[in-house]
């Protein structure tokens, strides 16, 4: 939903209720989007620090490029 800032001033409570319900509200000034009102994230899908610990493996020979990469190493 796009709404001008001047109109949003009068309808802020209603817009907050819509955002809580999942509506993405874009505030506009002179027809250009200048800000957004969105509902907060309900939960993180993964914890950020250490989320992939033990899931990623780097091969011991990852620095050894094949001959097909020779022209890029010049």
**What is the pLDDT, as a whole number, of residue 42?**
61
**What is the pLDDT, as a whole number, of residue 22?**
87
Report d(CA 45, CA 51) in Å as an integer. Answer: 10
* Distances from the Cα of 73 to the Cα of 29, 42, 52, 65, 69, angstroms: 50, 47, 31, 10, 7
Whether 1 has a pLDDT exceeding 70, the answer reads yes
| CATH numbers and ranges of domains, the chain | 1-40 (3.40.1620.10)
pTM for the whole structure: 0.53
**What is the pLDDT, as a whole number, of residue 36?**
94
pLDDT of 13-72, one tens digit each?
Answer: 999 999 988 899 999 999 999 999 988 776 666 677 887 888 988 888 888 888 888 888
């Amino acid at each position: 939903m796009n709404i001008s800032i001047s109109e949003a001033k009068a309808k802020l409570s209603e817009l907050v209720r819509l955002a809580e319900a999942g509506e993405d509200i874009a505030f506009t000034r002179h027809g250009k989007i200048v800000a957004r009102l969105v509902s907060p994230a309900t939960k993180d899908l993964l914890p950020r620090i250490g989320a992939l610990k033990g899931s990623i493996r780097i091969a011991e020979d990852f620095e050894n490029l094949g001959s097909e990469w020779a022209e890029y190493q010049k």
